[in-house]
Amino acid sequence: MTQKAIEIRLSNGLEARPVAVLVQVASKYESSIYLEVAGKKVNAKSIMGMMSLGLNNGEQVIVTANGSDEQAAVEDIERFLSGESVA
Q: What is the CATH number of the domain that holds 61?
A: 3.30.1340.10
Q: 14 pLDDT band (50/70/90 cuts)? A: confident
pLDDT at 87 over 80: no
Q: Is residue 87 part of a domain?
A: no
Domain, as residue range, for 33? 2-81
17 contacts 87 by C-beta, under 8 angstroms: no
Percent of the chain with pLDDT over 70: 98
17-26 mean pLDDT? 95
Domain count, the chain: 1
- Provide the mean pLDDT of the chain: 94
pLDDT value at position 8? 95
Look at residues 26, 7, 1 and name the one whose alpha carbon lies nearest to residue 83: 7
Q: What pLDDT was estimated at residue 51?
A: 94
- The residue with greater pLDDT, 86 or 49, is 49
| Residue 40 counted as domain residue | yes
